[in-house]
């Protein structure tokens, strides 16, 4: 599996025939090379929730590539209204698993909020936030937590899905901070590999993942901290 981080919570996942973008806020303060390169050949766009820094460039990418959109029902319908083809959506919601063709995505809980900030200052409600568990038939299971705090039912997510790779928000203020994120990983999961995200993009967030890295010391888990735009083979 190849994983590339583009800042904030935006990742490209490549395994088998699937080329997936999760939360493609590609044009962010950490990445200045446009979304076209990261979106090349993309087959699926997955969204954890509706905040602008997660939907990001999804509409442009979906319209250009014809990729399948996997998100909750509200987000799917909202983006159809923005010009995404209705035949390209694959909606789901908490507890549900959807077949994405070559892999499945399960929607699980996240403690956060979800709305889209419009240009006129209003906000459009976009359902409840989620984490996404991706099961691949010939690769390891990946859990993108989305934006969340720690919660004890993470233990159930681990029991049901046994993810080996975790993508974990660590930037504090809008999600759990690094120390709490490390506690969540150590207490509730048996990850082989974890990748921190949702830090540094804006001044309000922690600027490094150091608290998370320190909290994971001695856990036996491989903590991978890619540079922006760097591809890691997991």
pLDDT tier, 9 (very low <50, low <70, confident <90, very high otherwise): very high
Cβ-Cβ contacts under 8 Å for 92 (sequence gap 6 or more): 70, 71, 72, 73, 98, 105, 107
Cβ-Cβ contacts under 8 Å for 232 (sequence gap 6 or more): 2, 3, 4, 195, 224, 226
- Specify the pLDDT at position 119: 94
**How many domains, the chain?**
1
- Specify the pLDDT at position 194: 99
- Specify the pLDDT at position 3: 98
pTM of the entire predicted model = 0.98
User: Using an 8 Å Cβ cutoff, are 209 and 216 in contact?
Assistant: no
Q: Which two tokens stand for residue 85?
A: 């083809």
Q: How far apart are CA 114 and CA 48, in angstroms?
A: 9
CATH number at residue 18: 3.60.15.10
Q: What is the pLDDT of residues 70-84, one digit of tens each?
A: 999 999 999 999 999
Q: What is the pLDDT of residues 38-59, one digit of tens each?
A: 999 999 999 999 999 999 999 9
- In this structure, what is the dihedral angle of CA atoms 162, 9, 47, 94, given to the nearest 10 degrees? 40
pLDDT tier, 4 (very low <50, low <70, confident <90, very high otherwise): very high
User: Using an 8 Å Cβ cutoff, are 186 and 178 in contact?
Assistant: no
- Specify the pLDDT at position 147: 99
- Specify the pLDDT at position 132: 99
pLDDT tier, 27 (very low <50, low <70, confident <90, very high otherwise): very high
- Specify the pLDDT at position 1: 98
Q: What is the pLDDT of residues 168-210, one digit of tens each?
A: 999 999 999 999 999 999 999 999 999 999 999 999 999 999 9
Query: Which residues constitute the domain of residue 161?
Result: 2-233
């Amino acid at each position: 599996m190849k994983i590339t981080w583009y800042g904030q919570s935006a990742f490209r996942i490549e395994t088998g025939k699937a080329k997936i973008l999760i939360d493609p806020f590609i044009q962010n303060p950490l990445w200045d090379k446009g979304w076209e390169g990261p979106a090349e050949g993309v087959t699926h766009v997955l969204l954890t929730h509706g905040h602008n820094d997660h939907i990001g460039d999804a509409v442009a990418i979906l319209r250009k590539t014809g990729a399948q959109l996997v998100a909750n029902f509200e987000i799917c319908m909202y983006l159809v209204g923005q010009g995404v083809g209705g035949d390209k959506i694959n909606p789901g919601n908490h507890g549900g698993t959807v077949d994405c063709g070559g892999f499945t995505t399960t929607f699980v809980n996240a403690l956060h909020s979800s709305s889209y900030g419009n240009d006129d200052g209003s906000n459009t409600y976009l359902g409840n936030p989620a984490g996404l568990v991706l099961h691949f038939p010939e690769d390891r299971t990946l859990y993108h937590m989305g934006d969340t705090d720690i919660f004890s039912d993470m233990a159930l997510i681990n029991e049901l899905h046994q993810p080996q790779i975790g993508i974990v928000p660590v930037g504090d203020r809008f999600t759990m901070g690094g120390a709490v994120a490390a506690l969540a990983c150590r207490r509730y999961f048996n990850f082989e590999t974890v990748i921190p995200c949702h830090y540094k993009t804006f001044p309000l967030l922690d600027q490094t993942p150091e608290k998370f890295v320190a909290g994971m010391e001695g856990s036996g888990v491989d903590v991978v901290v890619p540079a922006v735009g760097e591809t890691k083979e997991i």
